[in-house]
């Protein structure tokens, strides 16, 4: 490696640790998950989502330079609530976003039984005991993130919310979908939560707070190569193609991983 490049990389790493000390913590995400080595878990109450079956009254999508974030409003301002399962308390839905690769052989953050897919979607929830997601995200039991994998397939549904990405090609732009009913979350992720993995981890982007109850479903959703290419047409803050926005695997450091089948 060229010395100049090495120096540049080292100073970047030093800056990263100084600005975001949590990113080198011992409970970081994502991790490799294995059905074989996870502890089998038993739910006393099933992990459930409310409201997500309703058609939203407003859907907005934003390119923040790192990912595409969809946020929703529902009739009477009802929130989506996640409860039950491993969750201690009620968690309110904030938004969902995606991680994807330049090619379909990569893109997910978590790896399940050695499998990497083209994309991973994260539904982000915050503990309702806190007033806002900003407050919650620094607390140990502050966040819950539901993750699902997507693999490329020509049998994929034609998601009506994907073309909206054409309106947010540049970083720091947002767009309100003309027809919010095209994004029904239950239709997208399906009614079943099990089987899923649970472990305690972190945000996968700085500031990497170790505040996340991770719920990673084993079920793999489908998305077509054409639709993946719409995601890949987004630009980051420097005007470069926004792809490979996933974090590398982090050490497990003995954390318990539970599998609810």
Binding-site ranges for Zn ion (CB under 5 A): 122
Q: Pick the closer one to Zn ion by CB: 110 or 122.
A: 122
Q: How far is the CB of 68 from Zn ion (least distance, A)?
A: 11
Q: How far is the CB of 107 from Zn ion (least distance, A)?
A: 12
Q: How far is the CB of 60 from Zn ion (least distance, A)?
A: 18
Q: How far is the CB of 153 from Zn ion (least distance, A)?
A: 22
CA distance 91 to 199: 16
Q: Pick the closer one to Zn ion by CB: 98 or 260.
A: 98
Q: How far is the CB of 41 from Zn ion (least distance, A)?
A: 23
- Residue 11's Cβ-count burial label (10 Å; 0-12, 13-18, 19+) is exposed
Cβ count near 216 (within 10 Å): 27
Q: Pick the closer one to Zn ion by CB: 41 or 171.
A: 171
Q: Pick the closer one to Zn ion by CB: 96 or 168.
A: 96
Q: Which two tokens stand for residue 59?
A: 């859907």
Query: Closest by alpha carbon to 69, among 220, 183, 150?
Result: 183
CA distance 34 to 42: 17
Q: How far is the CB of 99 from Zn ion (least distance, A)?
A: 6
- What residues are paired with 37 via a beta bridge? none
Verify cis geometry, omega within 30 degrees of 0, for the bond prior to 56. Answer: no
Q: Pick the closer one to Zn ion by CB: 43 or 66.
A: 66
Q: Which two tokens stand for residue 7?
A: 């120096």
Q: Which residue is nearest to Zn ion (CB)?
A: 122
CA distance 144 to 91: 7
CA distance 15 to 117: 31
Q: Pick the closer one to Zn ion by CB: 122 or 193.
A: 122
């Amino acid at each position: 490696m060229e010395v100049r490049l090495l120096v540049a990389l080292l100073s970047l790493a030093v800056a990263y640790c100084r600005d975001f000390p949590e990113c080198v913590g011992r409970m970081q995400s994502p991790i490799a998950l294995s059905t074989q080595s996870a502890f089998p878990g038993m739910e006393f109450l099933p992990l459930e989502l409310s409201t997500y079956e309703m058609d939203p009254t407003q859907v907005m999508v934003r390119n923040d330079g790192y990912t595409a974030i969809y946020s929703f409003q529902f009739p009477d301002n009802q929130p989506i609530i996640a409860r039950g399962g491993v969750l201690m308390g009620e968690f309110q839905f904030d938004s969902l976003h995606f991680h994807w690769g330049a090619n379909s052989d990569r893109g997910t953050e978590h790896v399940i039984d050695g499998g990497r897919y083209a994309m991973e979607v994260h539904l982000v929830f915050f503990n309702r005991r806190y007033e806002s997601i900003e407050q919650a995200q620094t607390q140990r039991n502050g966040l819950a993130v539901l993750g699902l994998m997507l693999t490329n397939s020509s049998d994929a549904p034609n998601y009506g919310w994907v073309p909206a990405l054409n309106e947010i090609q540049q970083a720091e732009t947002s767009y309100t979908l003309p027809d919010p009913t095209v994004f029904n979350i239950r239709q997208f992720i399906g009614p079943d939560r099990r089987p899923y993995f649970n472990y305690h981890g972190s945000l996968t982007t700085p500031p990497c707070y170790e505040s996340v109850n991770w719920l990673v479903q084993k079920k793999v959703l489908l998305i077509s190569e054409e639709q993946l290419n719409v995601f890949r047409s987004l630009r980051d803050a420097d005007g470069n193609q926004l792809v490979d926005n996933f974090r590398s695997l982090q050490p497990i450091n003995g954390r318990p991983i539970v599998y609810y089948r």
